[in-house]
Structure 1
Amino acid sequence: CWNRTLGSCFRSANGTEAYRSDAAASPWFSTVFGLIGLSSNLFAFCVLVNSSRKMHSRSRSSFLVFLCGLVATDFMGLLLTFSIVVPYHFTRFDWRLVDPGCHLCNFMGLVMVFFGLCPLLLGATMAGERFLGINRPFSRSTKMTKRRAWTLVGLVWAGGFVLGLLPVFGLGDYTLQYPNSWCFLTLLHDSRNVVFCLIFALLGLFCVGLSFLLNTVSVVTLCRVYHDSESVQRRRDSEVEMMVQLLGIMVIASVCWLPLLILIAQTALQAPRGDLPLNQIPRDTEIQLLIYLRVATWNQILDPWVYILFRRAVLRRIYPSFKTRPSIVSLYPVLNPSLRRKFTQESVLQ
């Protein structure tokens, strides 16, 4: 009778499992982890807002908008996630009593999916913006405004939110995960959960791969420019600064998220074990999922430090010759003088 009153987020193994007082369930670990992440993102957001007010370059200001969106996403993701995880570790509440209808669990699962995918989607969007800015500077010089940049950020958020709502509308389930402190997508082998797991994992892998491809082309272009003897004096270090930051974001996202995404994809594609009930997951898979989720969460903590540490103000202290130079649009001498004067004037006004 009791089981019939419980929602779909409870599986037989994790719904009644006793609390484990090990490192995986340590309240102090989660608390310190969350405070470090929240303070890092808050500090980075303040630095970004201050830099944005002083910025007059359109390309740089639009890039700062994407960074602000990324930092805001990481901050809210940590805040909402740890506002559930930390109280659980301190109070050890029973999910069956607190949330028998799975409303809180579904909310947390949506938060985990939304704030997990959005940084990857924003990273790919930033890589595309920088690709166009470096390889097609004239085609975008009058198009990418702050408003359009915020519109792109809003579209990314909307896409992530729609994807997170899929289990609410029946495609997959959000279930309680080991050690009963968080909810996430379900690695069961029924068709609905397999489809949702593959959508999540493949979309994340696609974003990482697209970011790698676009950033590689952009870096090659900048390297070619820097080694061009005719234009070596015309380069602009702000493009390099943005690419260094973007590469840092890409590397961190790849290292933090690839293990989890690969695990989800592999588990969804593998045949289920015959010695387990259909509604249970192997314990080693549950432990791996927890470990890789912890690794993925570091992405939200390390992202803000990419901008904090790799700003020109910091880089100049390490590399004193890192000084501002004219825009990369001057690297294209094929333009006639009137057009070059026009774009130079626009760059100054921006």
Structure 2
Amino acid sequence: MWESNISKSAPEDDAKSGNCVSVSVAFPITMMVTGMVGNSLALMLVYISYKKKENKRKKSFLLCIGSLAFTDLFGQLLTSPIVISVYRADLEWERIDSTGKLCAFFGVCMTMFGLCSLFLASAMAIERSLAITNPHWYANHMKTSFTKLALAVIWCLVLLFSLLPVAGVGQYTLQWPGTWCFISTGDRNIPGNILFSTTFAALGIFSLLVTFSCNVVTIRALVIRCRAKPGSSQSSKQWERLTTETVIQLMGIMCVLFTCWSPLLIMMLKMISTQTSSHHCKPAAFPPSREVQMDCNFFLIAIRLASLNQILDPWVYLLLREILLRKFFQVANAVSNCSLDGQKETQTALDALNKQITDANAQPKQ
């Protein structure tokens, strides 16, 4: 965690000590590097797959995955260096942002790239649901031009929403412990602040519900279609394997999304209702109450989890499917058949027997 060693109500001088900063700065650096590697690798794999002619029907899905990886990568490139700079400035935001404009920029980035990730996840869930439940309609009507237009609309609308505080509706404030800026949740005297913060939380929750609903519909359709196929044919076994991989992937996507985003969105609604904001935790002549301090610490943990989603996205959407899911299926299949080696030997014997029968049939009759 980025600020785990200063999130407790320790003296400010201790939080700004050189050792504390040198230890803490390793966390944002590690997260930035890990996220850049994962999203860059995902973009490379998506580009290679997109250029293949046999993946023509998957181009819309690949565009969605590539857009998500690009959004997460760009978001990290814009925000992580600022956090690292604050740590190098002994946790004094004013040393790198005396005018407050950088704080507004940081808040816009946090809001935009956070909502974009959620909406892109919903777009992919809708796309998968249409592809599985209505394959003929999908093949005839789902064009890449429409997908590109939908992605552009998502980016533009989210950007406009994120710029509302810059236009005077709502406000971005420096959050505890002074290394990041985000939506203010407790200042009712600021015009439109409650509406803006509530709308952000509501849009995030709505996106999670859309993703969950579409993935459940997709899983149900996959299971029904898998059961409808005869269990002895090779195509049926291949479909069963692909169904298992897809269901595991969709379950992983839902778990990651809800784990990373639910705490932040729920905590925002709670802080809005109690008129509490994270910047109230700043050391002052009258320190915050224990309950307020606990809310601020939990809010800090929640934003870390949401930031962690940018690192996990390329793995659960693409890399995990390509690298781990097939291994998982092989292991599960080996356990169910007691021995993977025995299964391979049986298959080899069957292949040899089939070859002998084919050779015998191919011999000319005397």
Normalised by the length of structure 1, the TM-score is 0.77
Alpha-carbon distance, 1:317 to partner? 4.4
| Cα distance in structure 2, aligned partners of 1:229 and 1:69 | 35
| Cα distance in structure 1, aligned partners of 2:96 and 2:275 | 34
Q: Indicate yes or no: 2:167 matched with 1:164.
A: no
Match of residue 219 from structure 1: 219
Alpha-carbon distance, 1:204 to partner? 0.3
- Tell me if structure 2 keeps the 8 A contact 1:77–1:115: yes
| Cα distance in structure 2, aligned partners of 1:196 and 1:305 | 32
Match of residue 29 from structure 1: 27
Query: SS of the counterpart of 1:171?
Result: coil
Alpha-carbon distance, 1:101 to partner? 2.7
Q: Indicate yes or no: 2:259 matched with 1:249.
A: no
Unaligned runs of 5+ in 2: 1-11, 333-366
The 1:58–1:240 alpha-carbon spacing in structure 2 relative to 1, beyond 3 Å, is farther
Alpha-carbon distance, 1:320 to partner? 5.4
Query: SS of the counterpart of 1:141?
Result: helix
The 1:78–1:152 alpha-carbon spacing in structure 2 relative to 1, beyond 3 Å, is same
- Tell me if structure 2 keeps the 8 A contact 1:123–1:250: no
Q: Indicate yes or no: 2:208 matched with 1:208.
A: yes
Alpha-carbon distance, 1:291 to partner? 1.0
Query: SS of the counterpart of 1:176?
Result: strand
CA RMSD of superposed structures (Å): 3.0
| Cα distance in structure 1, aligned partners of 2:232 and 2:272 | 51
User: Percent identity between the aligned chains?
Assistant: 31
One-letter code aligned to 2:267: L
Q: Indicate yes or no: 2:320 matched with 1:309.
A: yes
- Tell me if structure 1 keeps the 8 A contact 2:91–2:179: no
Q: Indicate yes or no: 2:282 matched with 1:287.
A: no
- Tell me if structure 1 keeps the 8 A contact 2:260–2:305: yes
Normalised by the length of structure 2, the TM-score is 0.74
Q: Which moved more, 1:88-97 or 1:111-120?
A: 88-97
| Cα distance in structure 1, aligned partners of 2:56 and 2:232 | 23
Aligned with residue 262 of structure 1, among 262, 266, 271: 266
Aligned with residue 15 of structure 2, among 16, 20, 23: 20
Alpha-carbon distance, 1:57 to partner? 3.5
Query: SS of the counterpart of 1:188?
Result: coil
- Tell me if structure 2 keeps the 8 A contact 1:25–1:179: no
Higher alpha-carbon Rg: 2
- Tell me if structure 1 keeps the 8 A contact 2:69–2:313: yes
The 1:272–1:321 alpha-carbon spacing in structure 2 relative to 1, beyond 3 Å, is closer
Q: Which moved more, 1:29-38 or 1:229-238?
A: 229-238
Match of residue 146 from structure 1: 144
Match of residue 118 from structure 1: 116
| Cα distance in structure 1, aligned partners of 2:174 and 2:232 | 57
One-letter code aligned to 1:268: I
Match of residue 335 from structure 1: none
| Cα distance in structure 1, aligned partners of 2:141 and 2:320 | 29
Report how many residues are paired: 302
Alpha-carbon distance, 1:180 to partner? 1.2
Q: If each structure's helix is expressed as a fraction of its own residues, which one has the higher value? A: 2
One-letter code aligned to 1:60: K
| Cα distance in structure 2, aligned partners of 1:238 and 1:52 | 20
Q: Summarize the alignment of residues 1-350 of structure 1 with structure 2, pairs less than 5 Å apart.
A: 20-21=15-16, 22=20, 26-92=24-90, 94-190=92-188, 192-229=192-229, 236=239, 244-270=248-274, 282-306=292-316, 307-311=318-322, 315-319=325-329
